[in-house]
Chains A and B, each alone.
Chain A
Amino acid sequence: MTTLDQAKIRKMLLAFVLGALGGGGAMAAFLWLGFEPGWRVEQVAVGGVGVVYLVTGLFTLGGALMPGMGARVLNVADREELVEMRNMLVGSSVSAIALGIMLLALVGSGPGGAVPDIVVIAAVGLSLLTIGVIGVKQWRLYDELWRQLSWESSAFAMSILLPILLIWSVAVHLGWLSAMDPLLVIAVAAASMLVGAFIAAGRRGMLAPR
């Protein structure tokens, strides 16, 4: 095993430990909070996906703003790569954080919920606006690989989401299942986007340790 391989393994382990501590800690805190008021499954699902977006966004944003530290954890060749990608990474991170906040705001909303409707509407509106504006700006920063990745991750997300919604809807139509809760639809859609992005990145070798 070369020194480079050892360095890659060390970096992967560090990223894994930090991810487990940060992500696992945030998820545990969310679930601990959730058990108290007795949230429903769909609330836990949408909040769980929200936590993943939030933590991923915060980690990436931290790495992009502190490239020296970020290069030790994020899957990049070196510090300079993070500096080169800063604008793009900051945009993606802020979008992920906005989506995470939106999903978390939805958890405590609805009839009898602690979060007022106006707060949820503001959170959803602001998040969608942020994601839309950043999406347009990001597209201009993307080179051809990133644009291809963007198309592919959307296609994978749709390939995951559509069968779930279609099959569930057919089952509801036949009277075998009850209609899917709107929060669960949102959770499944957001999770599909996440999984789609991972599949697309993996296929292009971007999850291989660097």
Chain B
Amino acid sequence: MSLTPETLTIGALVPYTIAALLYGAMWLTSSKTLRLSASIMLGAGLSVNLLQLVIRAIEANQPPFKTLFESLVLLAACIAVVYLFVELVYRARILGLPAAVGCALTMLYALLRQDKEAVNLPPALQSGWFIPHVVVYFFGYAALFVAFCASFVYLLRPKPIHLRRPDLIAGEHIDLESLLDGAVRFGFALLTTGLLMGAVWAKSAWGDYWVWDPKETWSLVTWLLFAAYLHLHYLGGWRGRRLAVLVLVGFAAVMFTYLGMHLLPTAEQSAHVYQ
């Protein structure tokens, strides 16, 4: 079997799916071996995923971030990296199930939106800013996805979920709120960086920092929403459910910024809409 884009996508999708099953199974059984195998499986998926990015970059001789498919592959890798980092730092696997499901669904969508070959880069994207702008943004998206997972789990938690071994999932002293907040702060810093890099890049490419292109405007919207989060949390004292709901709204805006631009009537001429 040759390493076609399709093979590689499936090659990452399968371990991600297995990882999701293993992380899910943790909620039901008390097997200790599950703990490690789930993380290893997610790591395996990430390895294939990264390999796919590298192969594509070499084959096309350009950064593989142009098409929707390429961006989905990148996003899945970013989610896996950020989640594994969180697992390592917080010593908790409580977000393992939603994160692995996120990776698997992203790869599944990538499989459906497969483009058979790389698309040539137009002159405007051939810039030193292209890679940092996109990579920073996608790590930001991934961090906010982790925050979304944390909110999701947080909102479901008060309902009676039967946990055999809560400690196995939650780790030692996991504080979901602080995890959520950490992910948002990380994501917000990256959103800010990506946004400002984009403005500087636009200036050097077209002579304008900002032209109210719909994608620009929507990335401003997501930035404003998470800025509101910071004000409400750190100054307004918002905690708990309200804050989690705000994160869900903020993440919905992120997703719309990423995937919904073709739905906007104003985005026909935009350089940002994925084909």
Q: Do A and B bind each other?
A: no
Task: Enumerate chain B interface residues (CB-CB to A < 8 A).
Answer: none
Task: Enumerate chain A interface residues (CB-CB to B < 8 A).
Answer: none
